[in-house]
Structure formats: C-alpha cells, structure tokens
Structure 1
C-alpha cells in the first residue's frame, strides 16, 4: 500500500495531528473567522474598522514638520472647519442679508464654534473691501460667497460631531436665506470621509469581482468544485482575520485608508497561493500513499500520513515563502511615515495569518474531504510535460534566452530612471467626485482661502521679517503674492510669524517646488523653517533616500540567509536577488510609463497628474519583492528536493519546473485576478498599486521563473550549488534538507 514516511519533522507531526482532528480545526477557524468579521464590522464593539482610518498629507521629519510644530506651539495649526460656497445669490438684498446674518449669529452661538466668517455681516456686505477674498461677483446683481466655520482647537470626538450637526442645520439656513441657485459644502473631514468611503467601495467592488472569477478559474485548475473551494475557504478566513488585525492596528497607530485594500488583498492572494500548493501536493502524496489502490477504500491512517507528508514538503515551502514575504514587509519599518510602518506591521501580521491558515485549516479540509478529493482524479507525478519541454528548449540555448530576457526587462525598466513623485490630496479621488469638485472650485474662485503654496515660519524680529518679505521675497522667481501674519506666542514668549508665498502654480506644481527648493537652499537672512506641501514632499523623499539603504540591506541579507538555509548554496540566493531587482525595476518602469506619462489613461479611466504617488514605489517594491520571492521559493523548493535526491542539475531544473510550473502559473494567474480589483479602483493610489503589482507578477511568473531561472541555472550547472567550505558546514548544521 503506502510508502514509509519520515515522521521526525515537526511539520509532519503537525500534519498528522491536524488530519486526526479535522473537525475541531475547522470549527475553531469558523468561530475565529466569524468573531473577526464581527469585530471589524463593529458588531462586537459598535466601532467598525473604517471608523478609525485616516488619510492625509504624508509627513516626515524635516523643515516642513518643524514649521508645522512651531505654528501649533504658538496656538495655530489645523483647526476643524466647515466651508460653504453659495452661487447666484442676490447678496445685496436687505432681506437676504438679514436672513443670512441671523443664521450666522446662531452658528456663532453654537457651543464649540470658535469663529464664523461670512461677508454679508460686514457693514457694506459683499461690497465691503474686507470681503474681497470671500466674494465673487457673477453679474446681474448676483454673487457667490463663502462661509467658513472654525471650531475650537481642543474640540474632538462626539462633542465635535454634535457641534457640526448643529452648524450643518444653520448652513442649510444660509443657503435658503441667500436664495442661492447652487451651493457646495466641504471640509477636510468630508474629504477624508469621501476617500475612506471610496476605499471601502473599491474594496467591496474589487473583491466582489475577483472572488467569483477566482473560484471559476480554480475549478478549471483543480477539475472540481470541492478542491477549488478549499483554498477559497482558507482565503475567506484570512480576509476576516486580516480585517480584525487591521481593526486592532487602527486603534494604536494611524492607519491609512488605502492600506486596507493592499493588505487585505495580499492576504487573499497569499492564502489562495498557499492553498493551491497544499491541495495539489496533498493529492499527489495521497496518490503515492494509495499506490494504485481504490481511493474510496483508503484508511484514515493513509490520509493522516499523506497530510503529514504534504506539510513536511509543501508546508516547508509555505513556511519559507511566508517568512520571505514577511521579511520583505518588515523593510517598511525603516521608513519614517507612520502609515508605511503601519503597512509593514499589518502586512507581517497578515502573512503570519496566511501561514496559520495554510498549515492548519487547509490540510484539515483536505483530510476531511480526502476521498472526495481523489475520487476520479489524483495529482500524478509526471516527468514529461509542457513545462519540462519548455525548460529543455531553454537549456539548449541558455545564453540567447538570458540576453533576450535581460534586454526586454531593461527596456521596460528604462522609464523608471525619470520617475517624478507627488503627494496628491483631492486628486486621489476621481474627477467629478463631490469633494474634489468642491476644493477645485474653492481654489479657483477663492484662492486666498487656500493654504499658501510655500510658507516661511520664523520667530525672528518682526520688522526684519516684514522688510525681507517686502523687499526680497516679493521679487523671488515664481512669487505672485506675499503676506506676513502673526500666529501667536510660544510658551517661551517668542512671537511666531509666517510669510505666506503664493505662486501661479499648484502647491506641488513646478513653480512651487522650485520656490521651495530655492528657499531651502538659500533661505531668508534669519532663522526660519520652510513649510508647505512641496517642502514636505522634499522632506519625505529625503527620508526615503536616507532610510532605503538600511531597509534594502536588511531585507536582502535576511532573504539571502533564508535562501542559503534552504539551498546550501552561495550562488543561488545571489542570483535570485539579482533577478528580482531587475524584474522589480521593470514593473516600476511600466508604472511610470502608464501613470506619469499618461499612457492607457483612457483604458484605465484615470487622469494623469504627471507623477507617481510618492509612497507607491516603496510599497510596490516591498510587496512585489515578497511575491517574487514567493514564486522563487515555490520553484527552488522542488529543484532542491530533486537535487538532494541525486538528480543532476539540468534534470532537477526540468523536473522541478514541470512539477511546480503549473502551480506557479496558476498561482500567478489567480494573484493577477485578485490584484486586478485594484486596477478597477477609483482611488488613484490604489489603482497605481494594482497596475504595478499585476505587472510585477506577470513578469516574474513568465519571463523570470519560466525562462531566466532555467537559463541561468543551465549556464552555471553544478556551480549553482557552490559555497565555501565554512558555509557548507553551517548549512549541514543549521540548514533545512531532505
């Protein structure tokens, strides 16, 4: 009947125990998944995951943050505000002015409101010279005007919401009393709510499309609904767990809304990948245990041994893969932005969750439904097939394959050398969305209400600051207007002044960036900090450049050690890392070509902002590196297993590609389907992430794994397994071998 199996490994023993108690494992996971989902949706605590998400300007230590801190120290800073724009109002009518003034007075009396600004309450109304920044004359005696409500700085939580509800009623009275033909309302909080709401919609829409298509493809791959359903059930458990994990992180750190999409779908994709590998290997191992016998007559002992052997081999691959992906995620810990560290922490947690699902729930389901899984079909080990033939052709002309693939990847990577980055605000939302339209109208019609493009913050002598602003700052290139304001006094009795500089460009336009760069390099003749979005973006990019070598070195070293423990080779890990760098460069090049250059904007339904979101390259490198190494481990584990059994390198490569090629191709196809949900997203940053990851997966699973790996291993031959003697001794002691 079955063959003798080594039962000495922990994974083998775990597999046997899971197969002995599959119902207990299943029920445990069902309870955990249900509780996790209820927790994330707010059923348990009344506080849902999306209630605690944030979205805003990316910050890093530097001049812009110092400028912001100094303003806050002096009693200034970002107050919660609500802004109302009305259009087509007969604002000079005494009746209109009376109605609006009454509503403004009620807003002023609302508890929690610090200040309310409206031009109609001035002595001369909209014709008052002081009303200029708040008024737009529209002809025929009609005007547009703005009402700004500022809340007390320490107001937050339920008290702030109660004040906003009361104010909202009175803003409606202003609209009615002004007899306006149109009106819009907006605020930073409303913008945040719209972004988070769109993220939630994108997540539901993307997964709503991806999951059914994924299931259909898996049915075709496995040849049955039951086998296809096992990885999908594991993926659903991982999604529930991922949402609960994110719910926990959102309570202790600032979690950006877009991270939910990325991390949740990563968990979904990895669980499907690992489930696919475990189920396929289980069928193969059970076929070997049965040794041609009728599968319906197989004893529970054979099922347990097949499950143990599955985890001993495929489970080991999953462990190596999960650790590799977690290492890639941990590289995000080095970067200064809170949301990037949060992405790393959440990503590592989700990978651990996927590992737990793949090594417990999935094998339990395999053991529970073993007879139905193998009835009429088993995974037969074949030494000849499409992937083996492909490897054989590559091995006949390896140098030609290497040159052609490297040339193709280099051409794709070329646009990445001219990458420009930005940090979008309202541009994250699709054109036509309420808050994007509101802020675009506010910036165009009432530009003086918008934050300055560049801001100089200082505690220097006031007369000296004003003299510089009038004589020197006003004639700087790209400067359209200059305004000096006194913010307040710090606890050390220093008066904080701001010099607000406005250009004819947007806050992150070329003119604003050039002005910020000039002031940072050759600033005013007194101590000052340069603030504004352009300065903040510069700080963030500088921090990325400063931290990137440490992050890369840590990830590369840890990955190298892991691959060495797996292969016992010095050459294979180095080769794998080099190939990953080349393929990642290609994916970033495509990202620039599509989003910075605007190619395919019609097909993908986006408006190019002429740059890539500053956080996306780092996130893509971390996630794509992990996924690339995921497939590398899938392939290498089979090749190493065969080589340890005494097969020559070329034969091990051919058979390894044959036995893992279908798994890698299927896993990549499923991952592409899953991440394609990102491509359909309305949030620009999510769409950019989706395109980059889809391209990275396609490149890695085709050009790299199917062509470049067998070609380079064929050229190196037995040198693939070379390592110095001292490293061989280390591997013999600490490595993982057959």
Structure 2
C-alpha cells in the first residue's frame, strides 16, 4: 500500500509542478499561424520593417445607413496610438463611406480597441471597425473560444457516456482523472519547449482535447481488461497485475506510435505545426504513463467498487460479424475499399488557402465589415495585393521600369509604387485571381521571376501561401518518413510481422483520405455547409490537412493495435489464424466502438464553434474516427487478415498447435 500511495503522491507532485511551473507558458504563447521562417515572404516583410515600413497598423471604418461618424473620427485623431485619419471615401452606390485610420507600429490592442469603441458609439449597428490588431485578435480569440466551448459541451456528455460504458461513477471518473493529470503535466513540457521554439496558443486547447480522448482510450482498455481478469480470479491484486501485464504492452505500443505520428509535425519549420506536434506527443506520453502507473495505483485503492465483466452468452455481435465477413473476405475487401475510396474522391481537388474573414462567424466585427465591403466596395474584398519589396527608391527610373514590367504580367490589373525609405520601396500589384487558384500562383511566380538590377523580395497572401505549400512539399516527405518508419518499427516489434504494419499504414491512409474528401466536399465545395453554420469557402485552411492527418493517423493505428493485440494473443493460444481474427474482433469490438464513440463526442464539439478551420478539423477527425472504428476495423481489417491467413504473421514461425483448442468465442466484457 505504501508504494501505491507513493505513486499517487508522485503524480500529484508532477501535476502540481506542471500547472504551477508550466503556467508560465501562457505568457509565451503566440497566435501566429502558418509562417515559414526564412521564406521569401518573411524576408520581404523583414526588409520592409527594417526600412521603416509599414508606417503603422491600419483600422478600416465603414459607415452605412447615413450615419454621421465625423465627430467621432475627429475625436479619434487625438487618441493614443493614432497618427492619421484618412478622408472619407464614398461607395459607388452612395450607401456607405469608408475611412482608413493609421496607428503607430507600437500601438497596443487596447489602444486600437479604445479607438474602435469610440467610433462605433457614434452610431451603434451602423459602423464597423476592423483590421490590424483587432482582426488578428478576433481570429485568435474565436479559435480559442470555439475549443473552450467544445470542452464545455463535451465534458458532461463524455462523463455520462463513461459512466454508462464503465458501469459506474467511480470507474467512469478514472479516465478523466488521467486526462487532468496528462494535461497538467503537459503544461510543464510546453513551458520547457517554449525555450526551444514558439508555442502556438492553439496547442493548449488541442493538447487538452487529445488528453481527454486518449485517456478515455487507454483507460477503457486497461479497466476493461481488469474487469475481464476479475471474472477469472477473486484476487483483485492478481487481476490488476494480469491486466497491467496484458494491456500494458498494448497501451505502451499505441502511446509510442501515436506520439511518433505527432512528433512528425516537429520536422516542419512552422512554429504552429511544431508546437502542435510537441504538445500532442507530450500529452500522449504523459497519458500513457499515467494509465500505466497512476491508474493501477488508484485501482488498488478503489478497485473493489468495480464489478467483474459478465460472462458472454454465445458468440456475440462482433463475433458473428467477423464470421459473416470471413465467409466472403475478398468481396468485403473490394467493396469496403471501393466505398472508402469513393468518399475520398473530392480530396483530389483539394485547394489550400489562408483563411479570410469568411472563416469567422457572421456575428464577429471582422466578418460584418467583410460583408459590408462586399456589398458596397466589392473591389476591396478581392485578392490581396502582391507586394514586391525592392531595394530601390520609389522615384528611381529603375523602379519605374520594374513596375512597368510587373504591370505587363498576365493576371495583374493595377500597380502602384509606395515609398518606404530613401532606398526601399514597395511595388504593389493587384492580382485578378485568388491566391489558391493556379492562375493566382502563376501570377505570383511570374512577378518573382522578373529580372531586376536590385534586390526584389515578394510578399502578400499569395506569396505566403506559395511559400507554405513549398515548405509542406519539402518537409512533408521527411515528416511522413519519420512517422512511417517509427510506426512500422513499433508494430513490427509488437506483432513480429512484416505484413501487418504495412496493412495498418495502408488502411489508416484510407481513413485519412476519406476525411479529406469530407472536408473538401463540405467546406471547399459548399455541400451541406449550412448545416455547419458556414458557406462555400472555395478552399481549405492550409494548416488543416497536416493536423488532421497526424492526429487521425495516430488514432487509427491506436485502434489497430487494440485489435491486433487480442488477435495475436488468441493466435498464439490456438494456432488458428482464422479463428484468432474472429475472437480478436469479438473481444475488442466493444472497446473500440466505445472509445470511438467517446472520441467522436470530443471532436464533434469542434463543429459547434464559429471558426471554419476548427470546424474543418472537427469534421475531418469525426469522419476518420467513425470510418476507422466501423468500416475499416470491423470489415476491412478482418477481411484482409482472413485472406492472408498465416501469412499475416510472416516471418514469425506459427505457434505449435495445442492438443485441445478452445473454440468458444469470448467477449471482452
């Protein structure tokens, strides 16, 4: 008992240090997303800033309904942080007036907010103020509030489901205890990581959601095994020892595999992806260790209140499903794979973009202003300008010659030269095509390829998108290699097989492809988009595919290991490859289904928010989990393993066939 208490006290100390010491990470978080250090876009922005530009931050004021904002705008001239208020610009239809307010580069969000409130108060509901630090903050706050809303919604639902699945309040609370321990300890990991790389503000929320989901997964596996062992012995300590010995190896392998899939994100130079990988891998490892140490210690104290699993009557629904699949394994394989691939077809025309105001809910100030601008100033909601930062004075003949050549590039509609300093200027080109289109990328590349007698660095939305795509293309294969090699090695050691790790990777990729297809079909193409509180967005946020792929792959392999562990255990007992598949599916079917249901609830909470990228992640993960836990795990995996038979376990030698083989299908409980 003393060792049990010591283990619990150690975890209390770890979590206390994580929350107390690691709380410092909240002061070091960044809201910057999708940036590539050292890219041409970033170097262009650095050059412009070093040369003294931009002169400041900008707020856009749009007045409609004939409201008089003149006195408020005049008052704003003298407010802290304001350097200039531009003359009003009426719309072509005469129904709106636009004004630009320039703030100092050092103006704080609070100062910008004070200016906005002063102007809006002149005619509430008829004046919108957005842009600059206000819009940046609104994007960040919307994403955070969406994840927090998801947590508030999912926590009580998950608790109710846990009580139902585990058959009692005490057992149901245990995974939440592990989730809290994992999240608290991860704060400390992120704080240490902040000294090496920037930590995204979104990493905290993602870590929290992952902690809850994986704590449920691993806790369900261990407690279910404990209840199964209780049905075999009245000695609760012995039942716990057996449960940890049998389920612990599975949990360790799944935890390391999921952590490896998320650590693949640290290969990318983007701080957003790196911090997501660090946070995700950290919480996975901590959850795994908590389930293997803290949860058994708690079970020793309160395990007497957990009931043994009930004996199964007959084969069970999952056993019958397995036998049905095994009667037509080739047909099931072909039909199932074709069905999943059909769902993946829309992903073939996936387009990536930087999220604009349309990604925000209609109630936000930035989105309101976007809609007003689209109605009265349609030219201002077109593609963002291509900004060529040049080391040449604005009035120089060479600069004028370069601007003329930019104007001749196909897809460029207007060009202007903006002075920045004595020897730096910006040639701003208005493109005719959106940056996510092939024409938009071609226009940007043509501008970048123009020869010039001075240094030219091109920035803007199109440049940022092209640079980010190039970064994904350069580092993506290395990230994939890290994940695939680690996954293959861990699964090969676990199964003593070469074919099973390959099959696990391929089936996981099927689920991910289908998830991408659903994201594209709904958000990019606009089908059923209104069901999710948004409209057609024409493209997908550029950070979504990588995040969905990393998380979905890890969770998919998670379920694969759950299933393979029981199949291998039965195969070693019976030497009957076909029967082992059916028994393994019967014993893990309830666990996988319950775990998937709980994770679907966790990630479905993302769909309740208003920020489109969060919704895209939520839909992608929900689709991937549902398909993987049902179609892939219950149909495709048993069908392919039945076809392969003993070849599944090559090059391992088949186990000696016992003299008496128990062919009763047993349930996991």
Distance 1:314 1:366 in 2: 14
Q: 2:150 aligned with 1:206, yes or no?
A: yes
Q: CA deviation at 1:655?
A: 1.2
Distance 2:148 2:492 in 1: 40
If the length of structure 2 is used for normalisation, what is the TM-score?
A: 0.88
Question: Which stretch shows the higher mean deviation, 632-641 or 21-30?
Answer: 21-30
Match of 1:329 in 2: 262
Match of 1:223 in 2: 167
Question: Which stretch shows the higher mean deviation, 262-271 or 182-191?
Answer: 182-191
Distance 1:431 1:564 in 2: 50
RMSD: 3.3
Q: 2:93 aligned with 1:136, yes or no?
A: no
Of the candidates 467, 474, 480, which is equivalent to residue 413 of structure 2? Answer: 480
Match of 1:338 in 2: 271
Of the candidates 191, 196, 201, which is equivalent to residue 135 of structure 2? Answer: 191
Q: CA deviation at 1:390?
A: 1.3
Tell me if structure 2 keeps the 8 A contact 1:426–1:439: yes
Distance 1:526 1:208 in 2: 55
Distance 2:128 2:290 in 1: 48
Match of 2:26 in 1: 49
Match of 1:435 in 2: 366
Deviations 1:446-470 (A, max 9, x none): 9789995111222257312202324
- Secondary structure of the corresponding residue to residue 437 of structure 1: helix
Match of 1:455 in 2: 387
Match of 2:640 in 1: 712
TM-aligned CA distance change 1:395 to 1:346, over 3 Å:
same
Question: Which stretch shows the higher mean deviation, 649-658 or 480-489?
Answer: 480-489
- 1:299-448 to 2 correspondence within 5 Å? 302-374=235-307, 377-380=308-311, 384-438=315-369, 441=372, 445=377
Q: CA deviation at 1:503?
A: 3.6
Distance 2:650 2:116 in 1: 75
> Where do 5+ consecutive residues of structure 1 fail to align?
1-18, 120-130, 291-301, 490-494, 726-738
Match of 2:469 in 1: 541
Distance 2:117 2:160 in 1: 50
TM-aligned CA distance change 1:145 to 1:426, over 3 Å:
closer
Deviations 1:198-247 (A, max 9, x none): 23322232122212222222222222222222223322333444456556
Tell me if structure 1 keeps the 8 A contact 2:406–2:447: no
- Secondary structure of the corresponding residue to residue 289 of structure 1: coil
Tell me if structure 2 keeps the 8 A contact 1:53–1:196: no
Tell me if structure 2 keeps the 8 A contact 1:81–1:188: yes
- Secondary structure of the corresponding residue to residue 607 of structure 1: coil
Match of 1:554 in 2: 482
TM-aligned CA distance change 1:639 to 1:330, over 3 Å:
same
Q: CA deviation at 1:440?
A: 5.4
Tell me if structure 1 keeps the 8 A contact 2:523–2:529: yes
> Where do 5+ consecutive residues of structure 2 fail to align?
654-669
- Secondary structure of the corresponding residue to residue 363 of structure 2: coil
- Secondary structure of the corresponding residue to residue 196 of structure 1: helix
- 1:630-649 to 2 correspondence within 5 Å? 630-649=558-577
Distance 1:446 1:611 in 2: 20
Q: Say how many residue pairs are matched.
A: 649
Distance 1:555 1:417 in 2: 23
- 1:464-475 to 2 correspondence within 5 Å? 464-470=398-404, 472-475=405-408
If the length of structure 1 is used for normalisation, what is the TM-score?
A: 0.80
Match of 2:457 in 1: 529
Q: CA deviation at 1:437?
A: 2.3
- Secondary structure of the corresponding residue to residue 369 of structure 1: helix
Match of 1:73 in 2: 50
Tell me if structure 2 keeps the 8 A contact 1:199–1:257: no
Question: Which stretch shows the higher mean deviation, 453-462 or 571-580?
Answer: 453-462
Tell me if structure 2 keeps the 8 A contact 1:452–1:501: no
Deviations 1:75-114 (A, max 9, x none): 22484455555564668xxxx67x865752x34xx5xx4x
TM-aligned CA distance change 1:596 to 1:282, over 3 Å:
same
Match of 1:500 in 2: 428
